[in-house]
Structures are given as C-alpha cells and as structure tokens.
Structure 1
Amino acid sequence: MKSLKITKSLFLIISLLLHTIAYIQFHYGGEFYDLPQRWTTDFDILFFLSCTFTLIIYIFNQKKNVVLLFFILRTITFFIIGIPFGNLLDLEYMLLFALLVDVIFFTPYPVNLILSLIILTVSVILQMPMNIYYIPRSAPSLINMLSYGFFGIIVSIIMILLRKTMDENTKDNLIMDGMDGMVTRLIEVNKEYLEYAARIKNESTKNERKRIIQELHDIVGKSFTNIFAMMDASLKYPPSNMDEQKEIFTWAREQAQTGLDETRVVLYRMREMKEPDLKTKTIVNLIETFQQATRVKVEVSWGNLPSYRNTEIELIIYNVIQESLVNAFRHGKASQINIIFWMNEENLLLSIEDNGKGGDSNKKGIGQSGMEKRVSEVGGTIVFRQTKRGYEVQMSIPREEIKKDE
C-alpha cells in the first residue's frame, strides 16, 4: 500500500508541475498570445479549477463516481482553456500532457488508452478557425496539428508503459509483503511448535523417568524381598540339611541375578534419555520451514560445533538466524544463504551471509537492534556488514557462557 501511495503522489506531482509550466508560459507570454485582459482573469479561474479537480481526483480516487464526475469537469476545463489559443499550441501542449497524466493514471488499462485517444482526437478537431472574444483566431497549420497529435500519442504511450510498470512493481511489492507476513508467521508458528514440543518432551521425559524409577524400585524391592525371604527360610533348616539350604541359596542367587539384569536394563534406558541438541532439531526445523515457504536455498556448515544444551544460548542463536533469514528474504531479495558455525578456543562463531542486495550497515532496524541487545546480554558481539557477494551477519559468544548450563 505504501508503494501505491508513492506512485499516486508521483503522478500528482507530474500533473501539477505541467500545470505550473503552463501557468508560467501564459503569464510571461501574454503579449505574444495577443489575448484581451479579460481572458487573463478567466484563465486564472479555469486554471485554478483544473488544479482543484486534479487534487479531488487524487484524494477520492477510490470512489469511482466522484472520479468520473470530476474527470468530465477536468476535461471540459481543458478544452475551454485551450480553444482561445488557436494556432499557438505551445501552452496547450502542457495542459494536454497534464490531462493525459490524470487520465492514464486514474483509469485502468486499456480504458486509459481509449480515453487518451478520444481526448487527442477531440482536441485536434477543435483546432479550427473561430472568434474568441470577437477576435478571430486562425487554426494551426497541418504540420503543427500533426506534431500536436504525434507528441500527444507518444506521451500517452510513455505514460501508459510507466503506469503498467508501476502497477507491476506495486503488485510485486504487495505479493512480497504478503509473503513476508506468511514467512514471518510460519517461522513464529514453527518456533511455537518447537517450544511446545520441547515442553511436551520435557514433561514426557520427566514422566518416563518417574515411571522408570518406580519400575526400578519395584524390581529392586521385589528381588531383595525374595532374597530375604529365602535367607530367612534357610535359617529354619538345621546345618545338617545342606541339600535344602543349597537349593534355597541357588534360588536366591538366581533372584539376585535376575534383579541385577533387570536393573541394568532400566539404567541403560535412563542413560539413553538425552535431550536433543540444538543443531539436530531446532535450527534444522527453522531452516526447512523457511526454505519451503520462500524457495530460498540455505546451506548450513556445522563446523566443529559440539552438542550443548544451554537454553539461553540456543534461544539467542535461534533468534539471530530467524531474523537474518527473514531480512535476507524481505529486504535483500536473496536467493542463497550460507550459515557457518565454528568453535575456537574462546568463542562460538556464527556467520550468516546471503547474496542479496543488503542494506545500509550503519542503519540498524528494530530486528537488528534486538539481536544486538540479546547477544550483548551474554557478553557476545554481533556485526552487520555489506560484502562483495551481498550481506553478512557475524556473531560471537564467549565459550564459557555456553558451558554455564551444560
């Protein structure tokens, strides 16, 4: 909508500029036009009405009936102003071009083309000998009339092509705005889903651990209870009855072995219950969602990035990548984005580079300021810069910050 408003304003400025040129021509060439003084006053009134009608058409361009009414008045005003100049067409050129600008912009194609041809035809027909304020005015020469019509057609074609180009750009911008909103929403939904899935998984993990602990308690309790019962039973037999005692001790040993085996199985299951690390889940899902929504190719190099589970750092990295992807698509119009991780002795390094047109690295938007604030809170730094290939975001976070919650 913003680009459409800019386009409307541009055409309005062109129309009013042509009006102004015509006004200056008239008042600085009054003697040359050889018109009575009365016509100067009439010209000023009609000129004011013409500018007013143009402004009304611009302001109420969404109301078709209003636009139609004032287009008719605007066209009539043009013909009334132009007729007295007879064979002096230089001033009428400016007024004609101003009217064509209004017609071509404020009416859709091909209606604007048809109206332009009608206005040109009627304007040429009216260039005939007549008396104006009892002063005979001769018609323009054939060459002047042909030139008048030719330049009118050329201006009409140029303005129509310009209008079509602007319409296409406006349409593209509206589509891009819609896609921006869709991509942003998809990423937000994906983030919400991942957070929800993480909560569910954490709850599931806690519940599973509780169940395993209960199972372990039951296994150990049952095994030791059976062993104690067998030992108590063995005490009832006299020392001479070694066969019975041997059988009981054998059963006790079997119970102990069974309990040990079952305990090992449970402990192994607990050891296998690990939280997924950042690089295998969250970022991968984010990138896949982004690629599906935008068709922008994203390549990730994990480098020597280790597995870690620092929730705060994960969220910061996620937000930096999310904001950078959206900016590369929305503002940079990028088709390729490369994400590189690397861990040196002191810092975790992240580079996000695209092949888009980038922007002014000295001007930070709300998103970039937010990234800078979040990274600085953990002692890190982030840099935005233009490169030969496009635009790059470089982030660095101290290694000790990552290890805090591990």
Structure 2
Amino acid sequence: MWDKNLLVFIRYFLIFMIVVGIITNEINIATSMIIFILIFIINNQIRFFSLNKKLYKAISFILELIFIYIAYKWIGGYFITYLILAAMDSTIIFEGTLRHILNITIIIQSILFTANENLEFKFINISLLILIISILYLIKDESYKKIKAQRLYDRLRLSEEKLKKANKDLEMYASSIEELTLLRERNRLSREIHDSVGHALSAIVVQLGAVERTVEKDPQASKEIIKALRKFTQNSLNEVRMSVRKIKPKEFEDYEGILMIEELVKNFEKITGVDVRLSFTKKKWPLSSDQSFILYRIIQEFLSNSIRHGKATLIEIFMSFNNYKVTVTLKDNGVGAENVIEGMGLKNMRERITEIGGNFDYITKSKEGFIVKVELNKVEKLKIHSQEESHGKY
C-alpha cells in the first residue's frame, strides 16, 4: 500500500525541481509564463487530490502531456522532472492497459524532447526515465501483493472465527444430544426396573404374606409356596442380570480399564487445560482388574507430577499391545531434572508395578522432560462357573 505522505512529498519535490529548472534557464519569465505554470500545477494537483472518475483523470493527464511539451519548448527546465512527475501519476493512478499506454507515450515524448540532443545525453535521460518507470511498476506490484495478502489474511481470519463458532455450536449440540440420550436411557431404565424388579418384589411380598398366614395352619402348603417363591425369585434375578448385561455391553466390560484411562485423561484436560495425547496400537486386549487399577493410578500420578513439578504443557501417553505384554510410555515436555531423588510418587509407582510382576523405569534430563516406561505381562481372564451356572442356573 502506497504511503500517501511520501507520495505528496515526492510530488512537491518534483514540482519544486521543475520550478528550479525554469529559473536556472536564464530567460525572462513573462506573466503569461507564470500563469501557464500555475495552470499546469493546478491541473496536476486537482487530478491527484480531487478527481475520482477515471475519464476525468485520463483527460487531465492528456492535457498535462500537452502542457509538458509546451512548457519545455516555451519556458524550458529539466525535461526529465516533467516526465518523472507524469510517469509517477500514470503508474499510481491508472490500471491495466491504460497505464501501459500512458507510460509508453511518456517514453516516446522523452525521445521527441531529446531529438536535437547529443546521443549520450539522449541515452542517459531516456534510460533514467525507463528505469524510474520500471521501479514504479515494481513498487506498485509489490503493493498489490501486500494488499492481496492482507485481504486473504482477513478472509482466513474470518473463516477461522466462523469455524470456531461452528465448532462451539457443534460441541453444544453434541452435549445436548448426550444429555438427551442420557435422559432417554434413564427413562428406559426406570421402566425396566418398574416392569421387572418392581413387579417381582411386589409378587414376593404378596407370597411372603401368604406364607406368614399359612405356616402354622398348613406347613405343607407353606413349603409349596416357599418352593414356588424360590423359583420365582431365581427367575426374577436372572431377568435382572440379563437387563444389566444389556445395559453394560461385553466390549465395555472387556475394555473397562482402557475406557477409565480415557475418561481420566479427558477430565484432566478439561480441568488443567494441558494438552494430553493418548494413543493405542490397533491391536488391544483386555487388562486384568489389577492391571487396570494400577495403570490408572500410575497415569494419574504422572499427570499430576507433570504439571506440579515439571510445569509441562504437553503430555503424551502411548499404550502398545502385543501378544505377550503391554508397554505404556508416558512422556511430558516439562523442565526435567539431572539428578532425581525418588519421592513417594515414584516409589509408589515402582512398588505397584513390581507387585504384579511388571517392569518400571524412567528417564529424565534437564529441560528435556520426563519419560516413564511401564511393562506388564498379558494375563488371560479366567471365567469361573458355579455348578448351578453350568446347568443353566444362577
């Protein structure tokens, strides 16, 4: 973007040089000459500061080219200053093909001005004029690029703001959907409990009342009622267990430990604002209850230490599963340390892992963060079935 104050200064400087050139020409300046110079300057200033339409500016510029020719031939002066002033206006004010035509006209006019001059004078002045016009082109093109880049930046910033707003709206929508889903699930659970558990308990209460009334008068009948009541209670219990299994899918049961760790990381990010990146290998297998609990506590301790002692802003957790073991690598970008004195936190981590047959190690250097590596062997989950369960009873 052109600096208007600088342009005004250059314009007035060129006008001043034109006047100096006329004065040093050693001619008697008549009143008509002064009036002509004033008309020339007024036309120039009106075009630059006042005229808005391109047609009026073009007419004013053509008049100026005519004025320049008359002024140089009649009054004299440095013709190069006349043409530089015209070249500056043609390059700044006009665009596209018109700008090129006007600049070519100025160059042709400079050739006409120097027709009677020696070759060296002609070459130096015309070359200087072409050089100045080229520099003006270069400056204007750079100005266009800056304006274009600024506009692009403004559009990107506007798009970013719209994207942030859309993301915020999407989060609010997702939150509302989550709440609505939770409410629907609660309603479904309440109906399930009312229809199954509530009905079963009501029936049991009624039958227990019958047993209470007949136990002394007819013990045999009471036994039959108790037997039927036991069978009814067992069936009701089976229904409750089936309902619970539907609510809690097998995938959740198998990967409950990993899901708990994901929830821990999610809540930690919300509370602290620290960027925590949790990732896994594609292959995963269920952790045992001891492994899930210990890994949960170790990750919890590491997260706490990373911001409290390490002043970390980024924490990375990677869980790598293979056929035999799981390797958990915890890394932060905190301040680190050269000499580590194990406190209760690190000791507890090591003891917990050692108790279940795992390996625990850490690496740290000053200004290079803290890394903890944990390895746990794969433990197959064993299902224990009771004698009644093996016969289809619970």
- Please give the range of the TM-score, normalised by the shorter of the 2 chains: 0.5 to 0.7
CA deviations 1:202-229 (Å, max 9, x no partner) are 2322332233233223322111122224
For the aligned residues, what is the CA RMSD?
3.9
CA distance in 2 between counterparts of 1:72 and 1:252 reads 109
CA distance in 2 between counterparts of 1:50 and 1:214 reads 89
Q: Does 1:211 align with 2:174?
A: no
Letter in 2 for 1:99: A
Structure 2 partner of 1:101: 88
Match of 1:50 among 44, 56, 60: 44
Shift of 1:118: 1.6
Unmatched tracts of structure 2, length 5 or more: 276-302, 315-394
Shift of 1:241: 4.2
Larger RCO, structures 1/2 (Cα 8 Å, 6+ apart): 1
Shift of 1:170: 1.8
Letter in 1 for 2:175: A
Would the alpha carbon gap of residues 36 and 26 (structure 1) be closer, same or farther in structure 2, given more than 3 Å must change?
farther
Would the alpha carbon gap of residues 175 and 22 (structure 1) be closer, same or farther in structure 2, given more than 3 Å must change?
closer
Q: Does 1:22 align with 2:14?
A: yes
Question: Matches of residues 192-271 of structure 1 in structure 2 within 5 Å?
Answer: 192-234=169-211, 235-236=213-214, 238-241=218-221, 244-258=224-238, 260-262=240-242, 264-265=244-245, 268=248
CA distance in 2 between counterparts of 1:75 and 1:31 reads 21
Structure 1 partner of 2:337: none
CA distance in 2 between counterparts of 1:249 and 1:341 reads 54
Q: How many residues align?
A: 275
CA deviations 1:69-91 (Å, max 9, x no partner) are 333233333333333355x5xx3
- SS of the residue corresponding to residue 37 of structure 1 reads coil
CA distance in 2 between counterparts of 1:230 and 1:121 reads 118
Q: Does 1:308 align with 2:267?
A: yes
CA distance in 2 between counterparts of 1:22 and 1:240 reads 127
CA distance in 2 between counterparts of 1:342 and 1:41 reads 86
CA distance in 2 between counterparts of 1:349 and 1:341 reads 10
Match of 2:118 among 141, 157, 176: 141
Unmatched tracts of structure 1, length 5 or more: 1-5, 129-138, 282-304, 319-339, 352-406
Letter in 2 for 1:144: F
Shift of 1:262: 4.9
CA distance in 2 between counterparts of 1:280 and 1:77 reads 81
Would the alpha carbon gap of residues 18 and 231 (structure 1) be closer, same or farther in structure 2, given more than 3 Å must change?
closer
Shift of 1:194: 0.8
Q: Percent identical across equivalent pairs? A: 15
- C-alpha contact 2:90 2:103 (8 A) present in aligned 1: yes
CA distance in 2 between counterparts of 1:150 and 1:252 reads 111
Match of 1:80 among 65, 70, 76: 70
Structure 1 partner of 2:354: none
CA distance in 1 between counterparts of 2:200 and 2:246 reads 14
CA distance in 2 between counterparts of 1:265 and 1:20 reads 89
- C-alpha contact 2:196 2:236 (8 A) present in aligned 1: no
Would the alpha carbon gap of residues 203 and 144 (structure 1) be closer, same or farther in structure 2, given more than 3 Å must change?
same
CA deviations 1:318-374 (Å, max 9, x no partner) are 9xxxxxxxxxxxxxxxxxxxxx998533898647xxxxxxxxxxxxxxxxxxxxxxx
Letter in 2 for 1:147: I
CA distance in 2 between counterparts of 1:30 and 1:109 reads 34
- C-alpha contact 2:14 2:85 (8 A) present in aligned 1: no
Letter in 2 for 1:251: K
Match of 1:69 among 59, 63, 71: 59
Shift of 1:179: 1.6
Would the alpha carbon gap of residues 247 and 342 (structure 1) be closer, same or farther in structure 2, given more than 3 Å must change?
closer
Structure 1 partner of 2:132: 155
Give the greater-gyration-radius structure (CA): 2
Would the alpha carbon gap of residues 31 and 160 (structure 1) be closer, same or farther in structure 2, given more than 3 Å must change?
closer
- C-alpha contact 2:200 2:233 (8 A) present in aligned 1: no
Shift of 1:193: 1.2
- C-alpha contact 2:90 2:99 (8 A) present in aligned 1: yes
Would the alpha carbon gap of residues 162 and 41 (structure 1) be closer, same or farther in structure 2, given more than 3 Å must change?
same
Shift of 1:100: 0.8
- C-alpha contact 1:341 1:349 (8 A) present in aligned 2: no
Match of 1:118 among 92, 105, 122: 105
Shift of 1:259: 5.2
CA deviations 1:280-326 (Å, max 9, x no partner) are 89xxxxxxxxxxxxxxxxxxxxxxx8442897x58x889xxxxxxxx
Q: 230-239 or 177-186: which moved more?
A: 230-239
- C-alpha contact 1:223 1:256 (8 A) present in aligned 2: yes
CA distance in 2 between counterparts of 1:73 and 1:341 reads 79
CA distance in 2 between counterparts of 1:83 and 1:208 reads 97
